[in-house]
Amino acid sequence: MVNTAVTLCGIELTNPVIPASGTFGYGREFAEIYDIDCLGAFAIKGTTREPRFGNPAPRIADAPAGMLNSVGLQNPGVDAVVARELPELAKVYHKKVLANVCGFSVDEYVEVAARLDKEDIVGWLELNVSCPNVHGGGMGFGTTCSGAAEVTREVKRAVKKPVIVKLTPNVTDIAAIARACEDAGADGLSLINTVLAMRIDPAARKPVLANITGGLSGGAVFPLALRCVYQAYEAVGIPIIGMGGVRSARDVIEMTLAGATAVGVGAANLINPFAAKEIIEALPAEMEKYGIENLVDIIGGAHNG
């Protein structure tokens, strides 16, 4: 019998599969079609201090082997998340979640993180310093070592729960930014967020998305995400949640070999609402296929070959 359990920043997960923020809402819709307690954990929608309607439409576009989104961190704001969303979530999910924290200033990151840190269902705080779809925040903090480190350092001072920093691939040296976050006190890393991209409508002769650019996700980005996880693992000694184009149990094993302790499933949830469940169910057989008894034994295994 294989063992899929892993430990992420001191919290044990029955399996490594974590639906990524923005692709699983607050879990309630998925709980209507299957028992979401089968998940290792999941990340709730990105939360800001104030409610956000998001970017104007159109904000979704098709792409080869993937999709573009420019949703723009639509969410009800931290007050509503604490008062309504998390209590409702606790009725259908009985494990810890990652609270994805977004901001347009360091002070906003600190305030939102401190509020969510007090919630029992929150196990980790995931700092989104990598969203490419907003102006004046998000990715602006994650493209420099100093910016990512400052947010990490200030949030760590204000909270007690593990802080996981979500990194963007839209940088020259992701390993350097990973090290900066670790040096600033990060307990873990999530990578990658979406890749900045665009589509153009030949008939209208203008960009398809109202925001012009959006984030590319889906199978097309998996090799890029795998490379980033591999490089980050070489650079740091803290756990990594690997994500980006994960669609199968084999992808989970590849991510684990690259250095991921847990594995995020994003766009696949939007295509098939059972994607995370099916990956979890397929993982034991895939492990047996490759002679893997304990998943933890192969974390970073591709670096030893």
Delineate the domains of the chain, giving CATH numbers in brackets.
6-298 (3.20.20.70)
- Calculate mean pLDDT across residues 194-207: 96
- When pLDDT is cut at 50, 70 and 90, the band that residue 131 belongs to is low
pLDDT at 140 over 70: no
b/e sequence 250-288, b meaning 16+ C-beta within 10 Å: ebbbbbbbbbbbbbbbbbbbbeeeebbbbbbeebbebbe
- Calculate mean pLDDT across residues 100-119: 96
Mean pLDDT across the chain: 95
pLDDT at 137 over 60: no
Tell me the pLDDT tens digit for each residue of 87-97: 999 999 999 99
Is 38 tagged catalytic?
no
pLDDT > 90: percent of the chain: 91
Cis peptide before 192 (omega within 30 of 0): yes
pLDDT > 70: percent of the chain: 96
Quote the pLDDT of residue 138. 54
Tell me the pLDDT tens digit for each residue of 246-275: 999 999 999 999 999 999 999 999 999 999
Amino acid identity for residue 159 in this structure: V
Which residue in the list 9, 102, 131, 181 is annotated as catalytic? 131
The two tokens of residue 171 are 């940088």
Quote the pLDDT of residue 132. 55
SS3 90: helix
- Calculate mean pLDDT across residues 213-225: 96
Displacement of CA 280 from its chain's centroid (Å): 17
d(CA 248, CA 36): 18
The two tokens of residue 245 are 């184009």
Which runs of E-coded beta strand occur in the chain? 6-8, 11-13, 17-19, 60-63, 66-69, 97-101, 122-128, 163-166, 188-191, 195-197, 200-201, 206-207, 214-217, 240-243, 262-265
Quote the pLDDT of residue 214. 92
Residue linked to tokens 């892993």: 6
